[in-house]
Structure 1
């Protein structure tokens, strides 16, 4: 009798335990797979900006590590533009310009997973770009940019220990959950064809992203976009690919979050003033995805990661040595911009901006305003960003990284008019001229309130680069209508355009 009761008890235990396991297994199939993506775009500076208040890659790494502590399934991605422009990139170390080496070193230390090509990556020569790709430990993707060499179009590649490996159109990340459970997340990418170079072939962005999407989709559970395009181009892609849940984009420098149908398009602020954190939940049974996006400000309330800070300090010490050759206190706040100063590439090379006005006023100030006008080529301004709030000397070096003297040039009114016409016709390029005290009114060029007299002699403050004839071929010291050139001495404000700008801003 006892044996029968024992047998019944054991049978009940096995049955109940089996039911319990089945219930657990059944419920597990409905437990969503959770992962996160930390998105950056258009980051040129590894250190904090605006007097240290915002940005800083060491602070971003703190946010990254916090996410990893909560869930190991985190991706760190960059939507393009990080090798240039930067102040550090212009300086020489051991006789060679840095050209984004500092950014790759920091991104390697942060364990970035994948980056899109941005148009500013191609500011570098092919030789320098190849060095940066080879140095990187992360993946690079784009389906529409190819290396153009000897009339042929080939994939860009990464060479590691003598082994060349082609870069891919797409990227796949496989996450693991528990035992034998995986989730494959794929990324597609294209780059805006706004920076033509003889070593780059840009394929059609829409044809190529559609092709890469169709090739990738059968291989993964989820497809996401990681693009470097204008917002209008991203919106068109969202219309083309309505099943794409999220496009993480770059190129614009101001944060935005848009929807086209069910497709979200997220862009953070430039220079890591903000980042996006996307938190995903994927139901493996229903094969459905939900996510929430958080725009997180990177500010001085976030502590800096020690490992990344050490690398940044090394580069910052190198930079400070160079800056102190021109100004004594690089960190000093010299101006508070209540209205943002626009130094973005497109405006500064196309229209008169308040940043261009500020620089050219500084050039005139360097000569005690004893010149008729001041001119600088828009291409001298390299920051491709806006400045607001506290501005220090380092910010001005970021705006004008190449420096150079402000020259006082006497020339004929006829040549001055010709120079101004050339600059106006060059809108959209680096030869477009930012101006002070000279404007075109009713088809006539005016110095102050007076029309330029072609036979009169004028005194103009020029950036020294312009007198080299690179942007305006006929503007050089050999032109007979260039009557006199004064080159400032080292102790003069005009000796360096950055010193002139800093000194002027401090006086306001």
Structure 2
């Protein structure tokens, strides 16, 4: 007799709740239908379900997202970098306190290789017909950043080998929840013939009908909840798999859908309605010209980092600050990015190259996607501690010494991206975590009001 198993999967939702009411209704309806037919259903999320760009996630530190996963009756989830390194240690440690599902992350540890008590390295699910399905998961290897937040990461491939060796004699098939990205997933498909199905994430890739490799079947569902992934397994002596993606926009609409979407914003705004300070004057912003708000942020970062000079892009500022009462919600709307400050050590020659490059007017219109940036364009650059005159860079009234080393305060997005190769190549980078830009702006505004 053929056994049918149904797997639904999501990844990289990034708190795009505009798609959530339809996704939740769809998977609940399908789950009920399959169970009425006596067939097994599993529901997995492959990480980055939470993103602090959304006020509701920010205000609840992701616990509101966990409630949504509970309501949709997920089987298990893994974490992405947005759960792992955009929350303070206690934020992640308590994120799943009320979870009704398994949290599987094989390569996440506390110091001294102690596994958190809320994390499983793998789980084996047995169907009513006795099929044993082993599920393990690995997350992106941002070892240094996790370390700054009090976690340890093991190398994903090494960890995967250990978990597969542990599971392979206890299971009939193995599923990997991978928040590593498509290139690593392809390597895993080649190197681990024991894995039958790889559900992917992180690089926002998708397969309309899955992808069969020599060893494994791969599936992924893009980003922001635009698709719900579905894999059907038929087991009779051997495993056959078919995959498809359901486009959320084409799913049936939900009663009071717009009200439900708006409610996430309203709850977040209400919870963030905490006074930070009062301002006598409004502060405007611009992505093309010098503006008081971008300059104040640059000054705040300069002071926070105690650096020789500071460089930020004005595109991080998304709203003005109006006079009167300023709340945490206002600062969140102004700076929603999960971006941390960073101090980079550079030679005078490298720093000069960066600062002269930053003078290019074309930056103001350059579209930017990813790297924690939640705006639209780079914007012009703002500096503190240096000035440029006739293509010469001065600090403390003196030209930069080409061989001297200087500390540049900037945002971590420039250490990950390729906008300034000199920053990316620097061997000495100090990430200041867990504070985001909005936390530093809050600190600065409170300093000003004293």
Same fold, TM exceeding 0.5? yes
Query: Which of 352, 358, 362 is 2:287 aligned to?
Result: 362
For the Cα contact (< 8 Å) 1:88–1:102, is it kept in 2? no
Residue matched to 1:288: 238
TM-score by length of 1: 0.55
Cα root mean square deviation, aligned: 4.9
| Residue 270 (1) aligns with residue 223 (2) | yes
The SS at the match of 1:237 is: helix
Residue matched to 2:232: 279
Q: CA deviation at 1:100?
A: 0.6
Query: Which of 121, 133, 137 is 1:169 aligned to?
Result: 121
Q: CA deviation at 1:294?
A: 0.4
Note closer, same or farther for the CA distance 1:464–1:245 as it changes in structure 2 (3 Å cut).
Answer: closer
| Residue 205 (1) aligns with residue 156 (2) | yes
For the Cα contact (< 8 Å) 2:287–2:314, is it kept in 1? no
More deviation in 103-112 or 257-266? 257-266
Note closer, same or farther for the CA distance 1:212–1:368 as it changes in structure 2 (3 Å cut).
Answer: closer
Note closer, same or farther for the CA distance 1:90–1:81 as it changes in structure 2 (3 Å cut).
Answer: closer
Note closer, same or farther for the CA distance 1:277–1:429 as it changes in structure 2 (3 Å cut).
Answer: closer
Q: CA deviation at 1:249?
A: 1.1
| Residue 156 (1) aligns with residue 110 (2) | no
Note closer, same or farther for the CA distance 1:322–1:423 as it changes in structure 2 (3 Å cut).
Answer: farther
For the Cα contact (< 8 Å) 1:228–1:250, is it kept in 2? yes
For the Cα contact (< 8 Å) 1:46–1:312, is it kept in 2? no
| Runs of 5+ consecutive residues of structure 2 not aligned to the other structure | 275-283, 300-309, 319-328, 339-347, 359-369, 398-408, 413-429, 433-443, 446-450
Residue matched to 1:329: none
Query: Which of 239, 248, 273 is 2:199 aligned to?
Result: 248
For the Cα contact (< 8 Å) 1:90–1:99, is it kept in 2? yes
| C-alpha distance in structure 1 between counterparts of 2:206 and 2:266, whole Å | 31
| Residue 118 (1) aligns with residue 66 (2) | no
Q: CA deviation at 1:251?
A: 0.7
Residue matched to 1:190: 138
Note closer, same or farther for the CA distance 1:260–1:449 as it changes in structure 2 (3 Å cut).
Answer: farther
The SS at the match of 1:211 is: helix
Residue matched to 2:63: 101
Q: CA deviation at 1:315?
A: 3.1
Q: CA deviation at 1:455?
A: 9.4
Q: CA deviation at 1:88?
A: 2.0
Residue matched to 1:43: 13
| C-alpha distance in structure 2 between counterparts of 1:224 and 1:464, whole Å | 40
Residue matched to 1:401: 336
| C-alpha distance in structure 2 between counterparts of 1:233 and 1:71, whole Å | 33
Deviations 1:284-311 (A, max 9, x none): xxx20111110111116532377x9987
Residue matched to 1:80: 47
Q: Count how many residue pairs are aligned between Structure 1 and Structure 2.
A: 340
| C-alpha distance in structure 1 between counterparts of 2:317 and 2:164, whole Å | 35
The SS at the match of 1:272 is: coil
Deviations 1:288-344 (A, max 9, x none): 0111110111116532377x998765432223558999xxxxxxxxxxxxxxxxxxx
| Runs of 5+ consecutive residues of structure 1 not aligned to the other structure | 1-28, 49-55, 93-97, 159-166, 326-358, 384-393, 404-413, 440-444, 457-462, 473-486, 489-508
| Residue 57 (1) aligns with residue 20 (2) | yes
For the Cα contact (< 8 Å) 2:15–2:51, is it kept in 1? no
| C-alpha distance in structure 1 between counterparts of 2:317 and 2:100, whole Å | 27
Note closer, same or farther for the CA distance 1:268–1:365 as it changes in structure 2 (3 Å cut).
Answer: farther
TM-score by length of 2: 0.62
